[in-house]
Structure 1
Amino acid sequence: MASKVSFLPKGMGSLSRGLPPSRPGTLFVLGSDGGMSVSPDAGFRLLFGRNQPDVHVCVGVGDTCVSRRHGLITHEYSRWVLRNTGKLPIRFPGSRLVLSGDEAELPTGYTPLFIVAPRQEHLLEVRIAAGAPPRAGGGPELYGEETLDRDARDLSGEEKLVLVCLAQRYLRNDPQPQPLTWAQVAFELAELRPAEQWSAKRAAHIVARVRKRLSARHGVPGLLEEEVPQPVGNALNHHLITDLLVTTTIARADLHLLGPRHAA
């Protein structure tokens, strides 16, 4: 086992610059205080998170919004799989988010992963030989403190219903999620609550009200049309949904609001 699982020293440099000689499929994970390499046949569950004494790779040290054990990586059926066991989302390059309780296959090669915390994103470098890494940010030693929730946004019951419907593809962890159209939102809510006279205009008005309020009250960027370059497209709603996910205002469990067939 010793030869199949090895420590990577702190200060070795980014995994994006290359790897030492290694067997194809070997996993390399690097955080702020070093990392580990794991052979695909080691049968090893690599844990990462803020609580340095209890994880193999430390990420987000000093940021109590990061969970003490935020995730793990295992080798299953000839692939490496990332699982988010923390509260905050983990972001792949681009906009794909792996939410709490979800999993995603890691591609061969270099993959920077980011734990999306309120004050900063913490980098975890991952690299799979014949490609891939993750890396992390650091800070003061607060390993054992309770994990803090970022302040959730205040939403009325009606607002939350509309936003969960709008964001359902994100909550289901679609690889390339997009907000539903207003017509789709209105159709689903009219089916769910036929007595309430849902329309695309009503749904759009409710979401616009939330965007304006969060922009004014919390300074969330990218929620107003004048803040986004043309063509705007789905950008305003995408930025809104991302903020609601990062602040855990909406979560996968909220899909139950859309009825039994949508429940997570």
Structure 2
Amino acid sequence: MTLSASLARGVAPTTPGTLHARTVTGELSAPPRPGLTVRFGRGEKPDVDLGVGVDDLRVSRRHGELTYRQGLWWLRNTGQQLVRLPRGRMMHLSTEPIPLTTGYTPLFVKGSGYREHLVELYVSGHDDQGPLSRRRAETIRPETWALNDDERLLLVVLGQRYLLYEEDPRPLSYATAAKQLSYLRPDAHWNERRIEHRIEAVRHRLDRTGFRYPLMHDKSQGRPGDNNLLHNLIKGLVESTTLVPPDLDLMEDDAAWPGSAP
């Protein structure tokens, strides 16, 4: 499959609700007919309608299916390996079916080792205009969030592992961050209590702006640890380029810090 053929570029106008699916080994379109099911996996026709991961024994012969009902296409994982959706959402064999929204949805079937097999999905809508070339259009800048100098320094210290793009990073503890901040700004009176207060204020403010990840406790789901919410905050700021690696320049002479993280 070439880049120019990707469903991410859109599809030609057709009946709203039509499902388009594509992998490196094939493609199909299916009308929005109640009860119609489209199956994908490593197997062959007629067991599956679309092949994916055909050379990977970790992919099930019938790994997933899409069924049209109640005016929507519903995705279900029927395989032994996980299916990954946008924003890191995972589907297991036991996960309830998930409805697809209009437009483009990439999903990835977990395979052997680090392999993941792409299945591109596109559900036609009323406003589809077909593939468009936007090569000369202005680039849309990432949505970033305003931070004052103290907030930026605090979040850079707490999130330095994220800015180094380490695998599976976690925030520094408030105790370690307080020691490093006291070294960097000895007159600012940083301590764990002040850090907690400032982080809570940032979370409250950004939560009202459509931040990508949850920043507040969901009482209906129980009370998660504050560290998970801090992880969401830093992850979202790094992914949006609100915080970028050059911000690490705010931290000078880190070799001499007390309590430096290993």
- 217, 223, 227: which one pairs with 2:209? 217
Match of 1:148 in 2: 140
**d(CA) in 2 for partners of 1:251 and 1:211?**
19
% same residue = 27
Q: Is 1:194 aligned to residue 182 of structure 2?
A: no
Q: Residues 124 and 261 from structure 1, CA distance in 2 versus in 1: closer, same or farther, beyond 3 angstroms? A: farther
1:226-264 deviation digits (Å, cap 9, x = unpaired): 3664342421111111221222110111111111448xx
Determine helix, strand or coil for the equivalent of 1:217: coil
Counterpart-to-counterpart distance in 1, 2:132 and 2:154: 40
Q: Compared with structure 1, are the counterparts of its residues 188 and 148 closer, same or farther at alpha carbon in structure 2 (3 Å cutoff)? A: same
Quote the residue 2:126 is aligned against. Answer: none
Change (3 A) 1:166 1:134: farther
TM-superposed deviation, 1:132: 1.8
Q: Aligned-pair distance for 1:220?
A: 5.0
Distance verdict in 2 for CA 1:125–1:191, change over 3 Å? same
Matched, 1:236 2:219: no
- Give TM-score scaled by structure 2 length: 0.50
1:177 paired residue number: 169
Contact kept in structure 2, 1:214 and 1:220, CA below 8 Å? no
Question: Do the aligned partners of 1:171 and 1:251 also contact (CA within 8 Å) in 2?
Answer: yes
Q: Which runs of 5+ in 2 are unaligned?
A: 7-21, 28-39, 43-51, 57-85, 91-102, 123-130, 256-262
Separation of aligned partners in 2, 1:140 and 1:134: 26
1:19 maps to amino acid: V
- Is 2:217 aligned against 1:247? no
Q: Partners of 1:144 and 1:126 in 2: how far apart?
A: 34
Aligned residue pair count? 164
Q: Aligned partners of 2:210, 2:114: CA distance in 1, in Å?
A: 40
- TM-score, structure 1 normalization: 0.50
Cα separation, 2, equivalents of 1:130 and 1:212: 40
Provide the C-alpha distance between the structure 2 equivalents of 1:198 and 1:161, rounded to a whole number of angstroms: 11
Q: Quote the RMSD (CA, aligned, Å).
A: 3.9
Q: Which residue of 1 aligns with 2:115?
A: 132
Q: 2:54 aligns with which of 4, 11, 19?
A: 19
**CA pair 181-140 structure 1, distance change in 2 beyond 3 A:** farther
Q: 1:197–1:217: structure 2 CA closer, same or farther, 3 Å change rule?
A: same
1:40-63 per-residue CA deviation (whole Å, 9 max, x = no partner) reads: xxxxxxxxxxxxxxxxxxxxxxxx
Give the residue type in structure 1 aligned to 2:156: V
1:147 maps to a residue whose letter is: T
Q: Which amino acid aligns with 2:236?
A: D
Q: How far does residue 160 in structure 1 lie from its aligned partner after superposition? A: 0.6
Partners of 1:152 and 1:249 within 8 A in 2: yes
Q: Is the 8 A contact 2:171 2:230 kept in 1?
A: yes
The alignment status of 1:258 with 2:241, answered yes or no, reads no
Choose 1 or 2 for highest CA Rg. 2
2:11 alignment partner in structure 1: none
Cα separation, 2, equivalents of 1:162 and 1:221: 19
In structure 2, distance between residues paired with 1:130 and 1:203:
40
Q: Which amino acid aligns with 1:160?
A: R
* In 1, Cα distance between equivalents of 2:104 and 2:170: 22
CA distance in 1, matches of 2:209, 2:222: 22
SS state at 1:194 partner: coil
Distance 2:159 2:88 in 1: 20
One-letter amino acid of the structure 2 residue matched with residue 18 of structure 1: G
**Kindly tell me: are residues 214 and 126 of structure 1, through their superposed partners in 2, closer, same or farther at Cα, counting changes over 3 Å?**
same
